Amino acid sequence: MSKIHKLPDHVVSRIAAGEVVVGVFSVVKELIENSLDAGATKIIVELTNGGKSEIRVSDNGEGMSEDDARVCFEPHSTSKISSFEDIYSIGTFGFRGEALHSISRVSKMKISSKIADEALGTELEVVAGRVVYKQSVQMERGTSISVRDIFFNVPARRKFLKSTSIESRMATEIFERFALSHPNISFLLQRDQSVVHNFAPSSLLDRIISIYSDFSREHLKSVEGEFKRMHLSGYISLPGRWRRRRSLALFVNNRYVTNQLLAKALYVAYSEFLHKGEHPLAVLNLAIPTEEIDVNIHPQKLEVKFSNEEKVFSFVRDSIKRALKTTFAGRLSLRSYRSDVSGSTEPHPKRVKFPSLKEASSVELFSEVVKATESFRVVGIVRDRYILVETDEQLLIVDYHAAHERLIYEKLKRSISNNTHQKRLFFNLEISLNQTDIDLLSKASVLKSLGFDWIVSEDNKVSLTSIPSFLSLEDAKSFFKESLDEVRMVDIEGLTPVYQKLLADIACKCSVRTGDRLDEDEAKTLVEKILKSGVSTCPHGRPLIYAVKYVELDRFFQR
Ligand SMILES: Nc1ncnc2c1ncn2[C@@H]1O[C@H](COP(=O)(O)OP(=O)(O)OP(=O)(O)O)[C@@H](O)[C@H]1O
Ligand SMILES: [Mg+2]
């Protein structure tokens, strides 16, 4: 029996219209949503060439009958709603009957699907919206949809596809969002035939840790809140554990949304602990009666509107505040939290708490660190990677690439504020860029603030006229080209995170590499500077010192 029908015009006219397919990530999003709506418990996503050559999503859901497979890509064809009012009690991700139609118009699409009741599955290929072949196939119940050569017939839009690495990164991000909102489902992601993620059904906490491997369970706090038929649940990072980029996975009734109201409620709850450039990790789902939200305000359904915004805002903010409070019960004041460097709130008792970036700016703590490390001795260098340092009270292990990178980063920031970060070139340095990259230069002001300047000649040749003073000519050239990918991220992530990332990347380029040989004097100077500065992470946010107190060692060895 067929499940798909065409929506009547009066319903269609009330559904948010607009562009559904804007890039690889939106195809991945629509196809995964369809798999989830079909009740799949296993979803496989395969990307070739960042998805620009092929995106394939396969599932073990209920599948489509032959009749349904033949019409699923027609406009406004859906099995999910019948009347417009259904949108207000919707339990599925889809409702417009538009996704497959929009995708099939701009790609070469192959649909294979089988339901339990039919012996054979149906396979058909649709090129630019037209069926070019159809056959019956042996297959398991479920659906597999492959989308090849996206925008092959719309060159103007193909041109706006981002680089392979960016498309791939965005598609991976959206995949991870679904994996987070459905931890009970198996998800596999393969890029160019190598497995990137392979998630078996698990708890939400385990799934978060598999995705954000820089966090362990001790760094995360569960959030549970209930108020007037709203329920908030998930995990947030504990103060002191930050990310340098916005890392929010916020869901409303398990639907991934980019809602500013929820993000704001979260940041307000954290405000006491957060400093510039620091971002908490949060994976939260707000369950709310469907009649209190509108999902029909954005063609890609990435936004929702709440009927009572104030109620939702204060509920989310207060639930998070409460979760943070129970962690720091009795010692919540920021002052006491910051002035405690003994590490008693640290998740790893063996890891001595070094002052974090924000603390480094505090004069009081700064002098404490210097005092605490008045005398030290470099014991040796291991694995061309770590410096072992003996102090009176503890053994320090310093990652020397990370440490050097951090010192350069600080120097770079100083040179930018002193305006000495730019090197004017005597001879302009010509670089070859394709047209898409040249078009992008008009939006690349972030590169100018790092010291780059350029001219574009009438015949579209690009020449650098200034480069960051820290970079060699060769490095500047390659860095400029590579950073254009990051410039594309400004629209998605905002200017500040991209600026900081690029600054950190320059520091990385200029610093000693893991594996470079360091002599003892160099190691000593490096350790001295890093201890004096009081910083504890590299510019990318990775820790750079691990400390073990001798008392901890003695305890371990039962002495
Ligand atoms: N993976 C799948 N398994 C089973 N049925 C599917 C699958 N993908 C699509 N379908 C069927 O095809 C129909 C059309 O899918 P399409 O994504 O175009 O629209 P929709 O999901 O109904 O609404 P929306 O446009 O909002 O996503 C769906 O309603 C569903 O019945
Ligand atoms: Mg859909």
Domain extent for 550: 340-559
For the CA atoms of the chain, what is the radius of gyration?
27
Partners of residue 422 on adjacent β-strands: 468
Single residue among 293, 327, 361 that ends a domain in this structure: 327
Q: Is residue 333 part of a domain?
A: no
Looking up tokens 């790092």 gives: 450
Asked if residue 268 and residue 405 are part of one domain, the reply reads: no
> What's residue 536's pLDDT?
80
Q: Is residue 123 part of a domain?
A: yes
Asked if residue 407 and residue 548 are part of one domain, the reply reads: yes
> Which atom of ligand 1 lies at the shortest distance from residue 62's CA?
4
Asked if residue 515 and residue 386 are part of one domain, the reply reads: yes
Structure-token pair, residue 558: 């039962």
Q: How far is the CA of 65 from the centre of ligand 1 (A)?
A: 13
Q: Is residue 411 part of a domain?
A: yes
**Whose CA is closest to 463, among 489, 488, 426?**
426
Tell me which ligand sits closest to the C-alpha of residue 20: 1
Cβ(94)–Cβ(33) below 8 Å: yes
Structure-token pair, residue 317: 């903010």
What gap in Å lies between CA 393 and CA 154, rounded to an integer?
66
pLDDT of residue 232 exceeding 90, the answer is yes
Q: Is residue 332 part of a domain?
A: no
> What's residue 490's pLDDT?
74
The CATH number given to whatever domain includes residue 419 is 3.30.1540.20
Task: Count other Cβ atoms within 10 Å, centred on residue 110.
Answer: 19
Asked if residue 179 and residue 242 are part of one domain, the reply reads: no
> Which atom of ligand 1 lies at the shortest distance from residue 103's CA?
18
Asked if residue 196 and residue 53 are part of one domain, the reply reads: yes
Number of folded domains that form the chain: 3
Span 236-270, pLDDT tens digits? 998 877 887 778 899 999 998 887 889 889 988 88
Asked if residue 402 and residue 321 are part of one domain, the reply reads: no
What gap in Å lies between CA 325 and CA 323, rounded to an integer?
5
Residues in CB range of 534: below 8 A, 6 or more apart: 354, 355, 359, 360, 365, 366, 369, 370
What gap in Å lies between CA 484 and CA 482, rounded to an integer?
5
Strands 42-48 and 194-199 come out as unpaired
Structure-token pair, residue 403: 């440490």
Span 533-550, pLDDT tens digits? 878 888 877 788 888 888
> Which atom of ligand 1 lies at the shortest distance from residue 35's CA?
1
More confident of the two residues 206 and 508: 206
Residues in contact with ligand 1 by the CB-under-6-Å rule are 3-4, 30, 34-35, 37-38, 59, 61-64, 72, 77-80, 94-101, 143
Q: How far is the CA of 100 from the centre of ligand 1 (A)?
A: 7
Ligand 1, atom 24: nearest CA belongs to which residue?
Answer: 94
Residues in CB range of 406: below 8 A, 6 or more apart: 507, 530, 533, 535, 537, 538, 539, 544
Asked if residue 354 and residue 292 are part of one domain, the reply reads: no
Asked if residue 212 and residue 173 are part of one domain, the reply reads: no
Ligand 1, atom 26: nearest CA belongs to which residue?
Answer: 94
pLDDT band at 371 (very low <50, low <70, confident <90, very high): very low
Burial (0-12, 13-18, 19+ Cβ within 10 Å), 271: exposed
Asked if residue 214 and residue 192 are part of one domain, the reply reads: no
| Residue whose CB lies within 8 A of the most ligand 1 atoms, among 45, 82, 100, 117, for a mutation test | 100
What gap in Å lies between CA 34 and CA 40, rounded to an integer?
9
The CATH number given to whatever domain includes residue 140 is 3.30.565.10
Asked if residue 285 and residue 389 are part of one domain, the reply reads: no
Asked if residue 214 and residue 193 are part of one domain, the reply reads: no
Tell me which ligand sits closest to the C-alpha of residue 98: 1
Single residue among 201, 233, 258 that ends a domain in this structure: 201
Q: Is residue 394 part of a domain?
A: yes
| Residue whose CB lies within 8 A of the most ligand 1 atoms, among 19, 37, 70, for a mutation test | 37
